[in-house]
Every structure is written in structure tokens, then in C-alpha cells.
Structure 1
Amino acid sequence: DIRRTSVDGQGDPHSSVWTDTLSVDDAASGVRFASYRIRLTLYRAPGSRLTPTVWRAGAMASDIPDRFTVPASTPVHARELRVPRYSQNVHIGQYPEYDNGGEAW
């Protein structure tokens, strides 16, 4: 079985890992990341001759200030969209690998 390898609660005195996000806990401390590494581990069924394929891998970094002001915009056109109502719990109990679907979506 293939299992998720990112685990919440990892970290050190300066940073934390929350599933797929690496964060500096105290930006005012001056700690900055100089680099990072992304690793892909490819699996295939035992005895299979099929080769796994990676179509895309990506990472993103940002250095956004903790507090900033966004100027207010003036709405020009207002219209109400007719969107069907759905509970975010529609998928509850499904997809246990993603916190049981609707519970976390």
C-alpha cells in the first residue's frame, strides 16, 4: 500500500510543517529559507514491468508580509448567481486518505 508521507506536527525551533506547507514560525526572527528540495518516489506493483510516469511536479515559495493593506474596490456590476446548494459534507465517510471527504473540504 502507498501511504502519505507528509505528517502534521513536524518542525524545529524556527519552522513547522503542516502536511504540504513548510512555514517559518517567526518571520521577525530573520530566519529565511535559502533553498528547498522536492523528492518524488515512484512505485509500481511488485512483478510489474510498467514504468511509472511523472507528468508534472511543482513547488511554490512566497515571502508575503504578515500584515498588509489591500485597498477597497468599488463594485461595478452586481449579479446574483443561481448556484445549487450542497452541503460540504456530501462526501463524508468517503476518501479516508483526505480526512473523510466532506469533513475537511
Structure 2
Amino acid sequence: MESQVLQAVKELLYEVREMRGEIENLKQEMQSFKQEMRAEMESFKQEIREEVKELHVRIGKLETKVDKLHDKFELHAQKQWQTEADVYRLKKLIGIE
């Protein structure tokens, strides 16, 4: 009976050692996976940073174009106003208005 108990304990110890080995392997795999995920996340972050930089550049160019367009519009409005004022003065001068 004692030898059977001893044998059962030895088998349990063997199984525990195997489990510890498997657990250690799983821990290492998880650690590797974690490192891979961190590297991938850093890669994604870098890609996003580059995309954001590019967007800032494009937004800056668009703002410049909008500013130029606004300036041209303002100039056109001033010229239009001046033209209308000149036409009014000429009409008044020749007696049409």
C-alpha cells in the first residue's frame, strides 16, 4: 500500500513538473507575443504620426490657397465697387442719373 501511495505521489510530482514546464513555455510565448504586439503598436503609432504630419502639411497648403482665394475675392469686390462708383459718377456727369 505504501509503495502504491509513493508511486502515486511520484506520478503527481512528474505531472506537476510537466505542467510547470508547459506553464513556463506558455509564459515565454505570451512574453514573445506581448513584445510582438508592442512592436506592431509602435509601428502603427509611427504610421499614424506620419499620416498626421502629412495631413498638417496638406491642411497648411489648403489654408494658404483659401487665404489667396479670399484675398483675390476681396480685391475683386473692391474693383467691382470702384467700377460701380465710376459708372455712377460718369452717369451723373453726363446726366443719365
Query: Taking structure 1 as the reference length, what is the TM-score of the superposition?
Result: 0.14
Which one has the bigger helix percentage? 2
Which one has the bigger strand percentage? 1
* Greater relative contact order structure (CA < 8 Å, 6+ sep): 1
| Greater gyration radius | 2
Query: Taking structure 2 as the reference length, what is the TM-score of the superposition?
Result: 0.15
